[in-house]
Structure formats: C-alpha cells, structure tokens
Structure 1
Amino acid sequence: MGRVKALPLYRTIPTCMATFKDLNLHAQLQQSLQELNISTPTPIQQEAIPLLLQGLDVAGQAETGSGKTAAYGLPLLQRVNTDIQQVQALVVVPTRELAVQVRQELKQFGKYIANLKISAFYGGHAFSQERASLAHPPQILVGTPGRLTDHLNRRTLDLSHVMQMIMDEADKLLEMGFEEELDKVIAALPPKRQMILFSATMDEDVKELIASSLKNPQFVKVSSNAIPTQVRLVGVKFGATQRQEILVSLLRHIEPKGIVVFVNNRMTTEELAAQLQAQGLAARALHGGMEQPDRDKTMTLFRNGTATVLVATDLAARGLDIAALNSIIHYELPIDAAAYLHRSGRTGRAGRGGTVYTLATTSDEKKLREWEQVRMDEWLSVDTLKEKTPAVAAELTAAFATLHISGGRKDKLSPRDIVGALIAEAGLPADQIGKIEVQDRQSFVAVPAKQRDSILAKLSNGKIKGRKYKVSLVS
C-alpha cells in the first residue's frame, strides 16, 4: 500500500430528504423496499446511491445502523446483468456473520430481479459446496478475505468479470490483519472496476487503503454517533462485587425477549450463560471460538425466541442485524467509546426503538462521562429500577422450543409446507406457530415449549409435503 494521501473534504449531506424514487432506482428495487416498509433513504443512502449509480469510486464513513448495506447494495443490484452468469460484484466483509447478513439483505432487496444469484463464501462453510456452486457462478458474491483467497489460490474462483468491489467495515478488515488478503483479491480484479469502501472510522490504515485502491474517490460521511435517537440509554449503578446479582435482577425487570448481554471475553460468555441458565433464564453464549454450526444454531434459537438472552463478545457487535433485539446490556464496559457505540448500535435499527442498559461501578461511571460521544439519558440505582418496573421473571423462561427438520429449500420445502404439516399432523393452530427458517438442506421451526414433545412425536410420525423427514428437538 502506498503513502497516505490527504483526503478530500467529505460531501455535505443535504437536509432535504429524497425518496427512493427520486434516486432513480428501478421499479423492482422500489417494490422490494416498499414490502420491507423502507420508505425514506437514510442520509448515507441519499448521498451515496447517486454517486455509485454514476460508477464513481466512493469512500463512506458510516456507523453501524446507518443503512450502509442498502447504500452500496441497491446500486450494486441495479447495475448487475443477470443475463451473464459470472461474478460481477464482490462484497468483502470481515466476519462470516456479516457475510450471511449481507447476502440475506441483498436477497431481500433483489427479490424481484429475475435470474439473480447471490452467494456467501466464508470459513466454516463447506469448501466443496462453494466450489460446486461456482459451476454456475453467482452475479454477486459476498465473502470473507481468507475464504476468497483460498479459492483464488486453488483457482476455483474467477474474478475477471467483476465490475464492482465493496470493502465493508474496512477498519475491521485491517484490524483483523487481512491486508495481504485484500491485496491478493484486488490484484485478481480487472483494471477497470468500481471500488467502494465503507468504514466506521477513518484512521491512518484506512486512509492508506483508500489511497492505494480507489481512484479519485468521492467521500461521504454521516454522524459519528452510532446510537439512534429513539434508543434510550440507562446507566445502572452498583457496587463492585454485585455484578452478576445485578444482571439477574435487571433481567427480571425488563421486557423478556431479544436481549443481548455484552461481555469482554469468550470464557465469560460461557460461564455467565451457564449461570443464567441455572437461574432459569433462557440464555445462550455466542463468541468467535465456537464452530460455525454452533454459532448458526445459537442465532436461530435467539431469532425465534427459544433463547431470550444472548451472552456475547464483540463478535455480535458488528454485522448482526437482529430484528428481535429490544435491549442491550453492557455487563462489562468495552475498551473504548467506539466499541461501546458499535455494541449499542445493534438496537434501534430501521427506526425501531430499544433500550441500552450499562452496568456501572463508580469507575465505570467516570469512564462513561469521559466519553464525550456517549450520552446517558438516565441513571438508576437497582432499587429504583425495581420500583419503576414490575418483575417479569416467569416469562424469561422460553415460550418456544425449536424443532429441526432434515429438509430444506433444495428438497422443495417452504415455510408454508411446514405450517401445513404442523396444522394437519400435529393439530397446532397457525397462530401458535413461531418463526420458521428454511435453509438449503435443513429447516427450523419454533413451537410452544409446553407442547414440544407431543408436536415432535406427531410430526416425526407424520409427513411434510407427502414425505417423511427426520424431526428432532434442538437443545
């Protein structure tokens, strides 16, 4: 990478809000946005989309929750040619969780684009499956640097038709040591291509990456505060030896669903999740040391309500857009304000509300007050918290259990088929069926926890879409 160059001034985001129609997006994209109840572009979308549709290189500084995936994804989808079965757009992301999320978001936006194929390649995913899928390459590929370079080294991936490359969360990519991998991927691209970079911060390493890989880039920037205004921030003061006791008390006095508890290391996630389970709380651990299938299973259980509390490291602070997330709890303060903002930005997305609780000793409180970009709407003692909200402990035991079905999209199963089988075979009313996730070769469905055994037995002995599948309880 070359010498750091002085960066141009950022473009000023206009105060007059456009609509997606004003941004000249195709009707198919506008239709999918309408179905997703996305009506007005965010500031980063309003500024970046016209530049990207012109084919210009763009460097954007945008925090978690600002809508940056749509900011680069909608122009990407508009410019792709589905008559050509080659990788035309490449999105490079730092983590497998973000790869899966970006693929899902792009699929939702591109729902009405005929013959569109979007794939995600990442470590922990079967290499043989990815290689086989390249017999009919996707037009859009989302991948982590390590897995992409693995394909390049084995000559299984052709990037010679790529017209656009996006480096999402560039600061995280560099922080995780992917500089060499990025260089190798960029070297495999054709000389004429559009380069796009988004980063939460613009430190010297990111500036150097911009200088070395983008040509005459346009710069856009949104507010440095990652926490949406509709999110309420509450500090909970306590004595230094009471941390776990205070957490349990807090969990018993807030809305009992969609709660992420952030800690600072892997060991704490496992220990704390086990301690919460011993208290009768439906808690699960999530950290980077888990095998990919275990991480996927944990996220499935959290999304469908079988697990109501997720104890996580900062792995979950980047790239996980969880619609069911209502509350964030900082069990331990992260190292700096930027990490605090990234964690907190997991809630309040897409205009939704949410609450961020921070457990704070006297020294923690002092540190929070020194972080100028972190606001605190309210400070409470534990006793005050109990007075303000009634206990809801009984509801924190999960209302749902999750069943695993050994068939998915490639077996021609759909959510409708699973709903039909639960009604016909298990006698379960439709309004009692929880979230259903259909994957390539497996499916998950949330059912009432109190009836799980009888539903499991009936569905195991019955048929789904005229065929028997192995059905098991996800523990």
Structure 2
Amino acid sequence: MATTFKALNLTPILLQNLQKLNYSTPTPIQESAIPLLLQGQDVAGHAETGSGKTAAFGLPLLQTIKPELQQVQALILVPTRELAVQVRQELKQYAKGITNLKISAFYGGHSFSQERASLAHPPQLLVATPGRLTDHLNRRTLDVSFVKKLVLDEADKLLEMGFEEEIDQIMEALPAKRQVILFSATMPQEVKDLIADSLKNPQFVKASASAIPDQLLLKGVKAEQAQKQETIVALLKTAITGGTVVFCNTRAAVDDLTIALQQNGIAARALHGGMEQPDRDKMMTLFRNGTTQVLVATDVAARGLDIDLLETIVHYELPDDLAAYQHRSGRTGRAGKKGTVYTLATPRDERKLRDWDQVRMDEWLKADGLLQKATIASAPQTAAFATITINAGRKDKLSPRDIVGALIAETGLTHAEIGKIEVQDRSSFVAVPQAQAKTVAEKLSNGKIKGRKFRVHVVK
C-alpha cells in the first residue's frame, strides 16, 4: 500500500495544497479509495466520521474534472445544509490555485434566486442537499447533462431522512454513463440495496472497525441526574480549554443548558434545527473564529461540524444508540489530531454504555471532585476575541486582504491583532480583540473599505 499522497499519483497542485494543510500521510480510506476513483471505478465506502472521506472522494474529483468546461461535471449529495457548507469549504481548500474552477453549495434555507442567478456561470463541482437539487431540476434551472460523477455522502443519513425519492429522481436525470461514489458510516440493508441498484461493479473499501478514533481520549463523569447542570459548569470551568461542543438530545434541553451556562459566566451559544438558517450560520462562524468557545447543540450539528478549533466533545445527555454516540464523538480528533470526549453518566447511563461494548472509557471522574475543584477555581476568562460583521462580501468584490488593509489603516490594529476573517456572499465576519471591538466597529463604519463605506457592527 502507498504511504504518501505522492504515491497515489495526485497532481502537483493538489500535493502542494495538501502539504500546506499539513496532510502528511493518507488515512486508510484515502489510501484505498483514491487509486480506484482515479481509475474511474464505482466505489462504496464504509467510512465513519473523522476518517478523511471528503478528501478520499474530493481529490479524485478535483483531479479529473475539466476546469475549462464551465458546466456541472460532478454532483455531491449530502443530507444537511451544514454538511453542504463544510464539504464545499474543504474542497475549496484542496483546490486552491486551480484556475477557472468554481465550487458551489445549494441547500434549503439559502436564496433560490441567488442560486439560479449563479448558474449563469455554472460550477464544475456542485454540493447539494437532495431537496434543493430536485427543486432546481423541477424548475429546469440546472443542466446536469455534463455530469460524469455522482457522490452520495453519508448515504445512511440520506435514506434515514427520507430522501429516497429525490435520489431516484436525480439518478434518472443524470447521463447513464457516470461514475457513482457512495460513502456511509453504517451499512443497514437499505444502504446495501442502494449500492446494488445504483453502482456498477462497485469496489468496496472500509475505513476501520471502530468509529471512535484511537487518538481520542474518552473520559466518563459519574453524576446523578440532579447534579448534571452544576457538574458541566464545573467541568467547563476547570477541566476544559479550547473549542467545545456540548450535545443534548432536544432543542429545549439545548436552550435551557445554554441559559444556565451563560448565567454561570460561560460564553456559550445554542445550535439546533429550530433556529433560522442565518442564525445557525452565524453561530458556526463565531465558533470557527474562536469568539464562541462553547456550542450547546443537538445532533443537527453532529453532521457537518468539522472545525479545526474543536478540541472537546461533551455528551451532556446520551443519545439513543451507539452510532449517534460515535458520530458525535468523532467530530473531534479528526484526520489524526488529538481530542477529548467527556460523557456525563448517571447510573442508568453507565448501564447503557456497558451495553455498547464498543465504547472504551480511558478514565472515570467523579462529579463531587469536579465540584470541589470548581469552588476554588477562578471565574472563566471571557473570550479574547469578539466578532464584527461588515454588510458586504464576495458579491461586493470584497476579499480578506481588503478587510485587513482597511482595519490597519482605519482602526490602528496591527496584522497580529486581527483574527480569523470569513467573507460570505453578502457579509463578512472578523475576529478582533474583545476590548477594542466596539471602537474598531465604529472606526471602520466611519472609514472606508476599498474606497467605499459599509455598515459595521459587533455581533451580539
């Protein structure tokens, strides 16, 4: 087996980008899938969260499409909006420097008219949720006659969410001669049937036997139900630093816990399916740039949450099944990085964990010990950064470089003081020092970016 990306026969530009991203050696799924996909074979991958599957299908797609042909040539179907955005971002990182290449993401909650307008210059790679894609097909706004490759990502979730009809409709609309690539974290009968119906002579590849990567440290916290809230406050104040996602099972539990954490001086934010899409996007942006260090979320965030700053997962409530536990846990420790997973367990939860005999626990902590520590610990520090938002983005021809230049010229910030910048279609978000955020927003609002005035304010 190959041990380097170079040995997988990838082009120099892709190898260069992988090097910049510190991807040193291929993961098992990349090693197995990339050669088969470059040969044009249909592939069915049993790949769990954190196995590196986006690069496994993404690199061969980027290597084999034709940037000079401005038509949709590869379609990637994903179950959720969050995953669509994440996959697009990852592909863009791998594709840096490939000229004339456009990668788009289409999904519900996003403006349909904007998507339709962008199809005047179609992307070569399109990441989409099935509902939104069939919407475009029904309205005849999308030409799929040039599509040579179809990826079904997280196929188990696509079927679980009831997208079977949409997948059938999309398959029917595509040219008969195509390469089909399917990845799934689990292999229930429905997924096996989909593989049998949709892939020709598929080559099967498997990532690993366990969905929880070895490099993850798993810690259990024994706590009675009535102690759980004060226990997690103690845990966040004493044992955890860096980006953390706390998982609850319901929207109501997320909202309640977020308020409780905020009342205890922890800068937590909520993320769940009951929120409007722009609000969910905003929470993800604040988490990505380090302004928010604790996200309290339902499983809607367990898919499509791939963030470098994510170091810790906390299971505040145990999910119903082992697969969901593995998915949540696998949001950290991705692509070989280290991560820690805490599980708050009542005696009943401990029994459930024992029934899931695949869950190892490296260490058990006691709630009482944490609570004792917390009483002598100092109050948590507030985030070093706050986020300002500018009411202009890519569509206004704004780039991160323009924003940095304006911040230095108008506000007196140095390059080193400016945090992560995210330029979206119609808005931009910048992490700036917390203590100066208000002043920076005012000065930038009164000043100019690229010779133009824009509204700027601090994100609350």
Fold-level similarity (TM above 0.5): yes
Query: TM bucket by the smaller chain?
Result: over 0.9
CA-CA distance at 1:305 after TM superposition: 1.8
Give the TM-score normalised by structure 1: 0.94
Separation in 1 of the partners of 2:417 and 2:211? 36
SS of structure 2 residue aligned to 1:425: helix
Q: 1:420 pairs with 384, 388, 405, which one? A: 405
**Aligned ranges for residues 343-422 of structure 1 at < 5 Å?**
343-385=328-370, 394-422=379-407
SS of structure 2 residue aligned to 1:241: helix
Using a 3 Å threshold, how does the CA distance of structure 1 residues 254 and 433 change in structure 2: closer, same or farther?
farther
In structure 1, stretches of 5+ residues that fail to align are 1-15
CA-CA distance at 1:450 after TM superposition: 1.8
Separation in 1 of the partners of 2:73 and 2:334? 29
Match for 1:315: what amino acid?
V
Structure 2 residue 272 is matched with structure 1 residue 256:
no
Match for 1:243: what amino acid?
K
Contact 1:48 1:58 in 2 (8 A): yes
Q: 2:260 pairs with 242, 258, 275, which one? A: 275
CA-CA distance at 1:431 after TM superposition: 2.0
Q: What is residue 13 of structure 1 aligned with on the other side?
A: none
Q: CA RMSD in A?
A: 1.5
Deviations 1:16-55 (Å, cap 9, x if unpaired)?
5521111111111111111111121100000001111111
Contact 2:218 2:361 in 1 (8 A): yes
Separation in 1 of the partners of 2:381 and 2:216? 22
Between stretches 119-128 and 252-261, larger displacement belongs to 252-261
Q: 2:278 pairs with 293, 304, 311, which one? A: 293
Q: 1:316 pairs with 296, 301, 305, which one? A: 301
Q: What is residue 247 of structure 1 aligned with on the other side?
A: 232
CA-CA distance at 1:396 after TM superposition: 4.4
Match for 2:281: what amino acid?
D
Match for 1:76: what amino acid?
L
Give the TM-score normalised by structure 2: 0.97
Contact 1:165 1:194 in 2 (8 A): yes
CA-CA distance at 1:420 after TM superposition: 2.2
SS of structure 1 residue aligned to 2:404: helix
Between stretches 446-455 and 125-134, larger displacement belongs to 446-455
Match for 1:422: what amino acid?
L
CA-CA distance at 1:385 after TM superposition: 4.1
Match for 1:72: what amino acid?
F
Separation in 2 of the partners of 1:85 and 1:424? 39
Match for 1:24: what amino acid?
N
Q: What is residue 65 of structure 1 aligned with on the other side?
A: 50
Q: What is residue 72 of structure 2 aligned with on the other side?
A: 87
Structure 2 residue 189 is matched with structure 1 residue 204:
yes
Using a 3 Å threshold, how does the CA distance of structure 1 residues 392 and 455 change in structure 2: closer, same or farther?
farther
Q: 1:219 pairs with 204, 225, 242, which one? A: 204
Using a 3 Å threshold, how does the CA distance of structure 1 residues 296 and 395 change in structure 2: closer, same or farther?
same
SS of structure 1 residue aligned to 2:190: helix
Between stretches 400-409 and 186-195, larger displacement belongs to 400-409
Structure 2 residue 12 is matched with structure 1 residue 27:
yes
Separation in 1 of the partners of 2:110 and 2:364? 44
Contact 1:402 1:445 in 2 (8 A): yes
Deviations 1:335-369 (Å, cap 9, x if unpaired)?
01111110000111122211100000111111112
**Aligned ranges for residues 140-159 of structure 1 at < 5 Å?**
140-159=125-144
Q: Percent identical across equivalent pairs?
A: 70
Match for 1:129: what amino acid?
Q
Between stretches 170-179 and 19-28, larger displacement belongs to 19-28
Between stretches 200-209 and 104-113, larger displacement belongs to 104-113
CA-CA distance at 1:417 after TM superposition: 2.1
Q: 1:238 pairs with 223, 241, 244, which one? A: 223
Q: What is residue 23 of structure 2 aligned with on the other side?
A: 38
Structure 2 residue 185 is matched with structure 1 residue 185:
no
